[in-house]
Amino acid sequence: MSNSFIISGGGTGGHIFPAVSIAHELRQRDPAVEILFVGAEGGMELDVVPRHGFEIEAVWISGIQRQLNLRNIGRNLLFPFKLLRSLGQARRILRRVQPQAVIGVGGYASGPIGRVAA
């Protein structure tokens, strides 16, 4: 993909809808542009983005839970594994797509792809 972009982020509408607006603007400027969204597994972006006509892939990432209870301690123990796996997923996505630019709009999903792209 020579004229392609990756837009990454999600978790809330405050991240997702600006990302979709950016994608629509890129598409309006160049109808042939290829856009791939990258979101977090289980994130609402996996529902919202395809409804706007864009492809999305998910990486296995989440944030650290600040409220300490038994459930969240277990989730936090998974974080290093999720981070390593998501960095590998991001690396593979970037190698395959070779985007012109990566646009991170915030949220957990923008971290791995932004880090690998930097």
- CATH number of the domain enclosing 10: 3.40.50.2000
For 43-92, what is each residue's pLDDT tens digit? 999 999 999 999 999 999 988 888 989 899 988 999 999 999 999 999 99
Q: Out of 4-8, 16-20, 36-40, 68-72, pick the least confident.
A: 68-72
**AA letter at 68:** L
Residues 11-33 have a mean pLDDT of 96
Residue 105 has pLDDT above 90, yes or no: yes
4 phi and psi angles, rounded to 5 deg: -135, 155
Other CB atoms closer than 10 Å to residue 79's CB: what's the count?
14
* High-pLDDT (> 70) share of the chain, %: 98
Q: How confident is the model at residue 22 (pLDDT cuts 50, 70, 90)?
A: very high
Host domain of residue 17:
4-117
Three-state SS at 94: helix
* Reported pTM: 0.91
Cβ proximity of 45 and 11 under 8 Å: yes
Q: Count how many domains the chain has.
A: 1
Q: How confident is the model at residue 1 (pLDDT cuts 50, 70, 90)?
A: very low
